[in-house]
Structure 1
Amino acid sequence: MRITVFGASGGIGGEIVRQGLAAGHEVTAVVRDPARLTAAGDRLEVVRSDLTDARELRGAVAGRDAVLSGLGARGNADARAGIATRLTVPVLRAMEAVGVRRLLLVSAAPLGRAAERDPLLDRATMAVVSRVFKAVYADLRAMEGELARSATDWTSVRPPRLLDQPLTGTYRTAVGHNPRSARQIGRADVAHAMLTMIDDPATVKQGVGVAY
């Protein structure tokens, strides 16, 4: 499979690149600073871009089977500037221009619907987190709005609190809502879930909750 990864030097994006190469995929990694990319391999192509020009990105996505994105805000300041939306829109336009449809990207659990009978403590915690990081989630909602209006076959992957830990391959997913008591998940497992979902038609045009 040929895939393009945006945000490839970040925590989740870097894991997508490494796991994609390990699985035998041909990977194009799009980064603003190639020096920050730690992955390497014969099947890896690196493209430098500041992600502002959709026309410039067409070559990075043309002919690919899927595009995966770990783009997002690094904090409230980025979020208030709408960085996730601003970086994602050129990707969408480039994909639409060259006819590539499959897109999976990272959003966040507070945008998902709570599971039925979710414990009160988990609901309360999610509400507090949503208030503290209000700007981040407003940016992600705007980004998901752009997805819904696009011509892509998108999947919005919505993890809760992210951890830096080795891949386990053991996690829960829920299409259309969050798993019950969705509290945390490792970045490596989010990447694994995204790669697994590429060929899953049930996840197309859906938000998918992921958690341990």
Structure 2
Amino acid sequence: MRVTVFGATGAIGRHVVQQLLDAGHQVTALARNPDKFTLNHPGLTLITGQLSDRTALTKAVTGADAVISALGPSLKRSATGTQLADGARTLVTVMDEQKVTRFIGLATPSLADPRDKPHWKHKVLPVMAKLMFPNALRELEGMTAAVTSSDLDYTIARISNPTNKPATGSIKSGFLGHDKVGSAMTRADIAAFLVSQLTDTRYQRAMPAISN
């Protein structure tokens, strides 16, 4: 497949790109600073730009079979603005124009899926996020709303405690109150789940929670 990756220079995005290339996919990565990307591979195309650059977005998305976003907001309390949310709205428009329908991305259990049942995370996590990371929560809400209100065929994986431990190969997924899903998950396993959604149809237009 031809897959466009956003957030490719981040801690999860790097795993996504490597796993896609290892699986034989053609990867296009949009990077604000390509110099941060040391990977050199014949199947990788780097495009310089950011989410506010509609021309770069169009170039990155054109011809893709799917888009994987490993983007996440800054967790600094001093962070301001809604660059990611604004960029997500532009990306949805560009994908629609280019007839690219498959979107795979990330969010948090602070945001509910209609398939969830009442769960303590629905009560605790939003309160914690508003107190500790208010701008990050606004960004995630905006990014998620842009995608879920569109006609895209999306899967948004909700994560809560990513770690840098080695991949375990053990991935739990489902909906809060229905399935036994924990919190901690290695970034390599998060990437593996995102890549697996290229061919897995269980979570189309859904936001499963995932963990190890």
Is the structural similarity TM-score above 0.5?
Answer: yes
The answer as to whether partners of 2:4 and 2:60 remain within 8 angstroms in 1 is yes
> How far is the alpha carbon of 1:152 from its aligned partner?
1.4
Q: CA deviation at 1:78?
A: 7.3
Q: Percent identity?
A: 27
- Partner residue in 2 for 1:37: 37
Instruction: Give the equivalent residue in structure 1 for 2:7.
Output: 7
- Residue 69 of structure 1 deviates from its aligned partner by 0.6
Structure-1 separation of matches of 2:145 and 2:128:
21
Change (3 A) 1:116 1:86: closer
Higher helix share: 1
Question: What secondary structure sits across from 1:157 in the alignment?
Answer: strand
Q: Distance in 1 between matches of 2:43 and 2:204?
A: 27
Query: 8 Å contact 1:21–1:27 — kept in the other structure?
Result: yes
Counterpart contact for 2:68–2:104, Cα < 8 Å: yes
RMSD (Å) for aligned C-alpha atoms: 2.5
**Superposition pairs for residues 1-212 of structure 1, below 5 Å?**
1-76=1-76, 80-112=80-112, 126=125, 129-130=128-129, 131-175=131-175, 179-180=179-180, 182-212=182-212
SS in 2 for 1:14: helix
Native 8 Å contact 2:3 2:27 kept in 1? yes
Query: Which runs of 5 or more structure 1 residues have no equivalent in the other structure?
Result: none
Unaligned 5+ runs, structure 2: none
Q: Report the TM-score when normalising by structure 2.
A: 0.87
CA distance in 1, matches of 2:22, 2:37: 16
1:25 CA drift (Å): 0.7
| C-alpha contact 1:55 1:94 (8 A) present in aligned 2 | no
Query: 1:70-97 CA deviation, whole Å, 9 max, x = no partner?
Result: 1121224576312321232222121111
Aligned residues: 210
Paired with 1:117 and 1:51, the residues of 2 have a C-alpha distance of: 35
